[in-house]
Amino acid sequence: MVVMSKEKFDYFINGEKGKYEVVIGLEVHAQVLSNSKLFSGSSTKFGADPNKQVSLIDSAFPGMLPVINEECVKQAVRTGLGLNAKINNYSVFDRKNYFYADLPQGYQISQYKNPIVGEGKVLLDMPYGSKEIGIERLHLEQDAGKSIHDMDPSSTYVDLNRSGIALMEIVSKPDLRSPDEVNAYIKKLRTIMRYLGTCDGNMQEGSLRADVNVSVRIVGDKKFGTRCEIKNVNSIKFMQMAIEYEANRQVKLLEEGKQIDQETRLFDTKKNETRSMRSKEDAHDYRYFPDPDLLPLKLEQKLIDDLKKSLPELPDSKKERFIQEYGLNSYEANVLVSEKEISDYYEEAAKLSDKKLVATWMMGDLFAMLNDKALNISNSPISAKNFAELVQSIKSGDISGRIAKEVFEIMVESGDNPKKIIESKGMKQQSDPKELEKMINEILLKNKDKVDQYKAGKEKLFGFFVGQVMKLSGGKANPQLTNEILKKLLKG
Ligand code: ADP
Ligand code: MG
């Protein structure tokens, strides 16, 4: 993953650092999580054989009429609420007219002048502070089918399974200033929609794609530069690479005294460059007009209010609560609310043990193990309850941090309860001061010569005594207590 810091992204032009800044606005296409399509009953399930999920509506048979899917409308409203946006009680579906082989209607049903959701905002946590990104609008529209060019050398195939699936187009204001911010923005949108259950955010399956608008300007300029729009980028890494390439291309042109043409461009992932597709079309080219087959969408305020009441706790407020309730710092809280399942796991474990220690062990050993095994928290081999018990055993002094790592490994392999493992393998720490003192006295008696040397100033012998205690206890002596008692007895 390329992660570019803000500093690294400043341009060096003619020896001047940061002469230009990049301005980015995203049009994110998020597939609505729903069983059926926006205007038909066909399934939206991913991975079906080509053209197996296509109704007469999706294939634009004459005389077929679209019927709006109420669940998709509710999903759009929920998402709008999650983006702190204004929900419009009145919105209109328009026809956006253009020809493409995978668009059988010859137009896409979208929303133009009156979208279902208006202005909103999203908060980003950046290393230099929190930053608000404006949302311009969110509208509902149909997805097109898919043209497959690489199955046959002389023909193109069309798969209409996607045709008519509901998309939410979420348009940001041109508030983003670096590839890093774009990374944070997409992740935040995805987190919010996953909490809401309105989009699965699966970029490999195409559930989340973005058109990336990029322009550059000299720092301090009030006016934006001419933008280019890079179409349909489907991974965060590619978005970042495309922005970097495009910003550099534009800066170079400006430095040569040339102009930027407003264009639609394509990111070539193999060559890592953008190239021109076409000069930018204007809205009037699409001949938008209200779809005569669909009535304007009127939402009763009560429906909006009810949906608002039924929203789950969202990441921003959960983060605040984690800081207040569990004493986490902002960084820890951020990580632990990044996925709903992670936050649930944390809360379940934190309630059973030390809140801070649970966070530390989760973000350390647990995440490293999941990452290693390419697992999610939902299919973690260690349950939240067992995890809490492990942390509790460290907290209570039953086992040391070092032994805990061994227990952890066994838990991963066996799924067993930590208490059981500690017991059956005799891993419990020796933390009884009386027992330890007895053992240490024995060792000191046996090594009188070394004790004398130590007292005479050979302090590095301390390690030798610790080693002896560990040897005699089979590695189970509580290290901290051992140190304390040794120091005390060696002084005497
Ligand atoms: P269109 O639908 O023609 O692409 P919009 O007005 O809907 O046009 O804007 C699309 C996106 O372009 C928005 O996300 C907006 O923030 C972004 N944008 C607008 N002007 C600029 C600019 N000068 N530089 C970068 N992004 C911009
Ligand atoms: Mg656009």
Contacts of 480 (CB under 8 A, 6+ apart): none
Rounded to the nearest integer, the mean pLDDT of the chain is 93
- At residue 485, φ and ψ (nearest 5 deg) are -65, -40
Rounded CA gap, 68 and 80, in Å? 18
Quick: pLDDT tens for 301-320: 999 999 999 999 999 999 99
Q: Kindly give the number of the ligand 1 atom that is closest to the alpha carbon of 281.
A: 3
Say yes or no: CB of residue 315 within 6 Å of ligand 1: no
Q: Kindly give the number of the ligand 1 atom that is closest to the alpha carbon of 229.
A: 4
- Residue nearest to ligand 1 atom 11, measured at CA: 25
Residue scoring higher pLDDT (142 or 403)? 142
Quick: pLDDT tens for 175-214: 999 999 999 999 999 999 999 999 999 999 999 999 999 9
Say yes or no: CB of residue 229 within 6 Å of ligand 1: yes
- Residue nearest to ligand 1 atom 13, measured at CA: 25
Say yes or no: CB of residue 169 within 6 Å of ligand 1: no
Identity of the residue numbered 369: M
Say yes or no: CB of residue 355 within 6 Å of ligand 1: no
**CA atoms within 13 Å, Cβ hemisphere of 155:** 2
CA 174 to centroid of ligand 2, rounded, Å: 12
Task: Provide the CATH topology of domain 433-491.
Answer: Arc Repressor Mutant, subunit A (1.10.10)
Range with the lowest mean pLDDT among 17-21, 209-213, 224-228? Answer: 17-21
Quick: pLDDT tens for 69-97: 999 999 999 999 999 999 999 999 999 99
In the chain, where the domains are located:
6-303, 313-424, 433-491
What pLDDT is recorded for position 283?
79
What pLDDT is recorded for position 2?
41
Residues, CB within 5 angstroms of ligand 2 (ion): 27
Say yes or no: CB of residue 110 within 6 Å of ligand 1: no
- Residue nearest to ligand 1 atom 19, measured at CA: 174
Quick: pLDDT tens for 455-466: 999 989 999 999
**CA atoms within 13 Å, Cβ hemisphere of 110:** 22
What pLDDT is recorded for position 10?
64
Say yes or no: CB of residue 246 within 6 Å of ligand 1: no
What pLDDT is recorded for position 142?
97
Rounded CA gap, 245 and 272, in Å? 8
Ligand number with the minimum distance to the CA of 22? 1
What pLDDT is recorded for position 3?
42
Say yes or no: CB of residue 174 within 6 Å of ligand 1: yes
Range with the lowest mean pLDDT among 3-12, 89-98, 103-112? Answer: 3-12
Is the confidence at residue 326, as pLDDT, over 70?
Answer: yes
Residue scoring higher pLDDT (172 or 490)? 172
**pLDDT tier at 4, thresholds 50, 70, 90:** very low
Rounded CA gap, 226 and 263, in Å? 9
What pLDDT is recorded for position 479?
86
Residue whose CB lies within 8 A of the most ligand 1 atoms, among 135, 182, 227, for a mutation test = 227
Residue whose CB lies within 8 A of the most ligand 1 atoms, among 121, 171, 173, for a mutation test = 171
3-class secondary-structure state, position 87: strand
What pLDDT is recorded for position 32?
98
pTM: 0.88
Say yes or no: CB of residue 95 within 6 Å of ligand 1: no
